[in-house]
Chains A and B, each alone.
Chain A
Amino acid sequence: MKAFEFFEHTADIGVHAYGRTLEELFINAARALYEVQGRFDLADRRMLKAELAANSLDELLVRWLSELLYHLSAAGVCFTHFRLQFTGEQKLTVQMEGGAVDFSRSEVFEEVKAITYHQLSVKQTTDGWMATVIFDV
């Protein structure tokens, strides 16, 4: 099973992410978010716990990716390892491990400005789960 693939969008970047489980789906969507932005070399190690909630599963995906984007944008922190636990359909507890990006030693691509709601979906498939999300760049 592919982890994710990009699809054509005129001005921004469309992503289909896949996973056998919801946890895997969310982690693969996170990897797509980082893949767009660069290959990061980390300068230290950090752990973070977060609890996220939304009105629906697809909005929870936006909350999750926006959380990662915020840490990269505000503090230059990228996460590489995740432990996710869904508590109900609309709540997520996550433990993340990563570190501060050493931008001088990283290959940077482009900054994702935001995770949009346009054409957003999270669906169950015969193989597991599939998400569609568009990143504003």
Chain B
Amino acid sequence: MHPLTKISDVLWELPQSYKAGMRVPGRIYATEQMLSRIVGDNCLEQVANVACLPGIQSYSLAMPDIHWGYGFPIGGVAATALDEGGVISPGGVGYDINCGVRLMRTNLTQEEVAPKIHDLVSQLFRDIPCGLGEKSDLRLGRDEERKVLSQGARWAVAHGFGAPEDVDLIEESGCMAEAESSNITERALERGAGQVGSLGSGNHFVEVQVTDEIYDETAANTMGLFLGGITVMIHCGSRGFGYQVCDDYLRVLGRAPEKYGFRLPDRQLASAPINSPEGQEYLAAMRCAANYAFANRQVLGSKAERAFLHALRISPDALGMQLVYDVPHNIAKFEEHVVNGRSRRVCMHRKGATRSFPPHHPLVPARYRAIGQPVLVPGDMGRYSFVLVGRPQAMSQTFGTVCHGAGRLMSRSQAKRELSFDQLRRDMEQRGVVMMARGRGTAVEEASAAYKDVAEVVNVVDSAGLAGKVCRLRPIGVVKG
């Protein structure tokens, strides 16, 4: 038995009475089949804990890729209201601030790339520093690094990484305003100095993919995606800079609940009122890390383009690589949403969740205004990823938010116990995927079998009307840290 009440085939409610201190109920998007895993994974407690945050509005939300995180569940979403003592929580953003996904399209077809895929993946693996200890070839002085923090992707474009029009196709135009670097610690700057343009490890990746199914021809055309066409997907965030910012501010905000007179059930949910000095300082620092991540993905995208040109020996025009979109999925930001019939400014926490704004929303780039914001949902490295577009119901039900990935099925240690690197390599070969990884153990932890089927996850948000499927992307080349 579980404590959830069925609202629809894909929506369940965790009643406010589930746990003392909950200020709102929880709502979880999932099928009945998904529930047993969710209930057995500790994450309902985390949904309940998030519901205890001061100023939280409507529901503590969980997306269908929900799994046990720290503080917030992965796939957790909360809107806190400024005018109701709402708080900002670093635990609702995570250590990898503005971890996100970038998708680029090309003119190339699978037939053109398949014969050279080994060379291409080798080139990407050489040109993109990945894994622990691999530094970027960019080593920034402090003044330059502070420009990254204030300018985001624009810094990268100004230094020859990508095209000026790219920034229009990045959430927040690739740069969060009010990023204030005066309170950033020397340690964060030091960790960030050599990591712009590096991938890191864990679940971060660069994938060469083929569009193998199209569900919405109009939206796919608008994004420049076509059946059999080659795309590149990058998953990465703010690297050591963001981890250090989060760590620094958890210490500061850890003392805030006592100071401001509220209690929280998990220290990892450390929070401060949005308008408090601590809350404002964290927000300013978090925006610096978000901008670092926007710059990082812009540089990585440009490095990937150069690797294609070098490995395939073709012209930029023939390659035709263009940014489709770039989405953060670990972030906090202010947005206008209708709550109980009235428009309110709320602080959206998306921890492993993606913004999904519908057609005609003013924050959707002009190119996509008629179809809705592209939503990029990576799956696992053996099967597929999805592109969706935002739908109007997302605004009324989830503060314009959907899932961010497949979600893990096995813990990392279970994956390593049950799978071997050789098995993984054979499995990837059978699937027609060329993989290069810096760490064998990390690669095994990221095997397909360790993840839920992302198709089940995106079908939930599609049938709930939160986002509509546009196309499916199947990997043929993977670079892992």
Contact surface of A with B, Cβ cutoff 8 Å: 6-13, 37-38, 55, 59, 66, 70, 73-76, 101, 103, 106, 108-111, 113-120, 134, 136-137
Partner of A118, one of B70, B190, B441, B442: B70
The yes or no answer to B439 lying at the interface (CB within 8 A) is yes
- B190: chain A residues at CB < 8 Å are 74-75
Contact between B413 and A114 (Cβ–Cβ < 8 Å)?
A: no
| Nearest chain B residue, comparing its CB with the CB of A120 | B267
Smallest CB separation, A17 vs chain B (Å): 16
Smallest CB separation, A60 vs chain B (Å): 12
Can you list 15 pairs linking A and B with CB atoms under 8 Å apart?
A6-B413, A10-B408, A13-B412, A73-B191, A101-B133, A106-B133, A109-B439, A110-B481, A111-B201, A114-B246, A116-B71, A116-B95, A118-B69, A134-B70, A136-B96
For B71, B95, B133, B408, which residue has the most chain A Cβ atoms within 10 angstroms? B133
Q: Is the interface of B mostly helix, strand, loop or mixed?
A: mixed
Contact between B408 and A74 (Cβ–Cβ < 8 Å)?
A: no
Known: A110-B132, A117-B267, A118-B266. A10 touches B41 (CB 8 A): yes
- A13: chain B residues at CB < 8 Å are 412-413
Smallest CB separation, B429 vs chain A (Å): 23
- B408: chain A residues at CB < 8 Å are 10-11
CB under 8 Å from chain A, chain B span 448-481:
481
- Interface membership of chain B positions 71-88, coded 1 if the CB is closer than 8 angstroms to chain A and 0 otherwise: 100100000000000000
Smallest CB separation, B120 vs chain A (Å): 24
Contact between B250 and A11 (Cβ–Cβ < 8 Å)?
A: no
In the bound assembly, the distance between CA atoms of A134 and B411 in angstroms comes to 13
Partner of B411, one of A9, A74, A113, A116: A9
Contact between A37 and B132 (Cβ–Cβ < 8 Å)?
A: yes
The yes or no answer to B68 lying at the interface (CB within 8 A) is yes
Contact between A110 and B439 (Cβ–Cβ < 8 Å)?
A: yes
Contact between B187 and A111 (Cβ–Cβ < 8 Å)?
A: no
Smallest CB separation, A33 vs chain B (Å): 12
The yes or no answer to B425 lying at the interface (CB within 8 A) is no
In the bound assembly, the distance between CA atoms of A13 and B41 in angstroms comes to 14
Smallest CB separation, A52 vs chain B (Å): 12
Contact between B441 and A74 (Cβ–Cβ < 8 Å)?
A: no
Contact between B132 and A108 (Cβ–Cβ < 8 Å)?
A: yes
Known: A109-B439, A114-B247, A137-B202. A12 touches B412 (CB 8 A): yes
